[in-house]
């Protein structure tokens, strides 16, 4: 498998505070990788740097062979690296299918004059987008809600719409910021299944930041643990569970061991 995302020596300081220090890891095509750590560990900062919302102080981000360090999110997403937001972030006043349609506009590059003139190239491109929207509605199970106003749906559905907007941009790698936050156990399990489907059937690699341990341990092939801005461990769920450094970070040092 080829390397899709390569993070090299990534750092971010806010004033005197080092939020992320010298973070390096790789994500291979088709992998599901989880980024975990206690509150304030720098997970979201790392996440925002990768997706382009924050400019790193130092380091390099390579995606699909291209240096995307410091590029704007709208540029990064066109290369196939999409993200979702921590809270349910949708276009509240639009219908579900319009939400997804707006995501699908990512690769729509017909000039305005051609759109106004309704050229045949424009009509073909518009038809293609409609098909993509239908496809994403099917994958995410949102098809029954397509005409509902997004803001009037339950929180779990709104989170799903967030993922659907990301999917509509046709990504190779999807970054998910705490996808399980605020979901009930049932919705959470359903979400886990959706993530597996995305990878297995639609060949989309995933990187997600998460607090929900069951979801992370059950879904991710590789887990990276951040504590105080630094990577302290990396490995499979089993390796992470037995890593002394992780146990120390989460549960505190075992005093007897040092005695």
Partner 1 sequence: MNVSTMTENHNKGARTRAFDQAPGNAWKAWIPALLVLFAIPLLLAGNPFYIHLAVLICLNIIFVNGLALINRTGQLSFCHAAFMGMGAYAAVICTVRFQTPFLISVSAGVAVSMLAAYLLGAVILRLQGVYFVLVTFCFGELFRLVMLEGGDITGGANGIANIPPARLFGFTFDSKLSFYVLAAACAFLSIVFLIALFKTPKGNSLDAVGDNPDLAEASGISIQGSQTFAFVLGSAFAGFSGALLAHYLGFVSPESFNQHISVAAIIMLVIGGRGSVLGPILGALIMTPLPELFRSAIETQNIMYGITLILVLKFLPMGLVGIGAKLRGKKGQP
The residues binding partner 1 (CB under 8 A) are 51, 53, 72-75, 77-78, 82-83, 85, 89-95, 97-98, 101-103, 105-108, 110, 112, 115-116, 118, 126, 129, 133, 147, 149, 165-166, 168-169
- Minimum separation from the CB atom of position 105 to partner 1 (A): 5
Phi and psi for 82 in degrees, rounded to 5?
Answer: -105, 165
**Least distance (Å) from partner 1 to the CB of residue 87?**
11
d(CA 258, CA 78): 51
> Where is 123: in which H helix or E strand?
helix 120-139
Q: Is 130 helix (H, G, I), strand (E, B) or coil?
A: helix
Q: CB of 107: closest distance to partner 1 in angstroms?
A: 7
Q: Report in angstroms how near the CB of residue 122 gets to partner 1 at its nearest.
A: 8
Nearer to partner 1, 116 or 251 (CB): 116
HSE at residue 21, side-chain half, CA atoms within 13 A, is 11
* In the block, residue with structure tokens 């801005």: 229
- Cβ closer to partner 1: 164 or 246? 164
Decide: helix, strand or coil at residue 115: helix
What is the side-by-side order of every strand in the sheet holding 17-28?
17-28, 3-14, 58-63, 66-67
Residue 84 CB, shortest distance to partner 1, in Å, is 8
Looking at the Cβ atoms of 175 and 240, the one nearer to partner 1 is: 175
Measure the CA–CA gap between 66 and 60, rounded to whole angstroms: 10
* Closer residue to partner 1, CB minimum distance, 5 or 225: 5
Query: 63 near 5, Cβ under 8 Å?
Result: yes
- Name which of 97 and 140 has its Cβ closer to partner 1: 97
């Amino acid at each position: 498998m080829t390397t899709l995302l390569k993070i090299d020596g990534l750092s971010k300081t806010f004033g005197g505070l080092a939020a992320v220090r010298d973070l390096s890891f790789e994500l291979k095509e088709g992998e599901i990788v989880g980024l975990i750590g206690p509150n304030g560990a720098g997970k979201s900062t790392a996440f925002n740097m990768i997706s382009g919302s924050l400019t790193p102080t130092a380091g390099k981000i390579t995606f699909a062979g291209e240096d995307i360090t410091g590029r704007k999110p709208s540029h990064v997403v066109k290369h196939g690296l999409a993200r979702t937001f921590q809270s349910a972030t949708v276009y509240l006043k639009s219908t579900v299918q319009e939400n997804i349609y707006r995501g699908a506009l990512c690769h729509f590059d017909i000039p305005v004059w051609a759109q106004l003139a309704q050229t045949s190239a424009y009509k073909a491109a518009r038809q293609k987008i409609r098909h993509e929207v239908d496809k994403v509605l099917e994958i995410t199970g949102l098809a029954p809600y397509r005409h509902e106003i997004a803001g009037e749906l339950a929180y779990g559905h709104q989170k799903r719409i967030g993922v659907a907007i990301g999917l509509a941009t046709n990504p190779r790698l999807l970054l998910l910021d705490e996808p399980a936050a605020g979901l009930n156990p049932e919705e959470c399990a359903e979400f886990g299944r959706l993530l597996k489907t995305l990878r297995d059937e639609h060949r989309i690699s995933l990187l997600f930041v998460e607090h929900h341990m069951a979801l992370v341990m059950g879904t991710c092939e590789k887990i990276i643990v951040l504590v105080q801005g630094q990577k302290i461990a990396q490995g499979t769920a089993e390796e992470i569970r037995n890593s002394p450094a992780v146990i120390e970070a989460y549960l505190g040092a075992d005093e007897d061991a040092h005695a």
